[in-house]
Chain A
Amino acid sequence: MRVLAYGVAGWLVLVGALGIVRSHNLVHTAVSLSVSQSGTYVLLLAVGYQWDAPAPVFSPGSPVSLPVVDPVVQALAFTDIVVSATVTALLLALAIQVDKTHRTVDPDRLQSLRG
């Protein structure tokens, strides 16, 4: 189980990077980057996990029962998600501009500089 959680995280990072390397479409490249980045969410949450510990949210009506899983890495994963969303938005905007200028979104056909 220990190997599985970390293994999934590492596999997601690498398979996303493979997608970037093999990409034929800039939109696919941006999505591959998101896949790669989601490996870091799994890694962060795996680091903070503890067996039989509930979520670190003591909603009204529920008693405070300790221990809980690590809230710090959850907050980090959350920062990670916000950064991922903003990066994806910028990359997609760039892909639109590349398509307008070069009439293609295949990275292999983007060889020359053009204004």
Chain B
Amino acid sequence: MNRRVRLLVFAVGAAGLAAMFALAVAGMPPFGGAAHPYRDLAVPAALGHATANVVASVTFDQRGLDTLGEEVILLASVIGAAALLRTRPGEHEHHPLADPRQPEAVALVAYLLLPLILLIGLNLVVHGHLTPGGGFQGGVVLATGLHLLYLSGGYRSLRRLRPIEWYQWVEGASTLAFAGVGLGGLALGAGLLANVLPYGPFQQLLSAGTVPVLNVVVGLAVGAGAVVLLGQFLTQAVAEERR
């Protein structure tokens, strides 16, 4: 199919989609109105479980099973990328003896920001049930913050301080731990991923039952998963040589 025909087919499809979308929008409740039936159910449920961040309550408490599925999607994607990017026959990993020198200003800023960004990531994970943030966001901040090591010390220091095999184990074990917390609810007779821990006082660090536990577990899983993913791509870019 040449490009002209392809664009023509796309134009027909796009026009059809745009027309149906416009019809759907015309029939929707007005933008910014007060009719939000799901909100009216979700907010009292979150307040009943002493969870200050209602989005975290929806994600980890009210629809915990969906988040377990999301965790498994993440694990599958990490496994898929690792399988796709493994060393192929005829390739070998080679490790440069000396890194190209970074500009000193970049290295200095990266050194200064490394502990700060790791702290922000931990803060996002631990306070996920109280303030905006949570395990997914904090895990990504932790993983990308760790790669400031690459900017400051180069690939060799990143490799030394980031043993990727450990992160693979953390990724698997934390996904298992998420399922374990869910099965704990089942064992207590409350149902899979039910919020079985004491709810605690509203807006306090120890509140919201299983939500902070799941946040920490997800933070570990996402952080380790992102490190493994970025590690695979970095190996492709830096350390793999075609023969």
Contacts and interface: CB of A to CB of B under 8 A. Distances in A.
B14 A14 contact: yes
Given A1-B31, A78-B59, A96-B85, A60 B70 contact: no
Given A90-B84, A108-B3, A82 B70 contact: yes
Contacts of B14: 14, 17-18
Contact of A82 (B46, B55, B73, B80): B73
Interface in B3-60: 3, 6-7, 10, 14, 17-18, 21-22, 25, 28, 30-34, 36, 38-39, 42-43, 46-47, 52-55, 57-59
Contacts, number: 146
Chain A, interface SS category: helix
Q: How large is the interface on B (under 10, 10 to 19, 20 to 34, 35 or more residues)?
A: 35 or more
Q: How large is the interface on A (under 10, 10 to 19, 20 to 34, 35 or more residues)?
A: 35 or more
Chain B, interface SS category: helix
Contacts of B74: 82, 86
A74 B137 CA distance: 14
A2 B3 contact: no
Interface of A: 1-3, 5-7, 10, 13-14, 17-18, 21-22, 46-51, 55-61, 64, 66-75, 78-79, 82-83, 86-87, 89-90, 92-94, 96-97, 100, 108
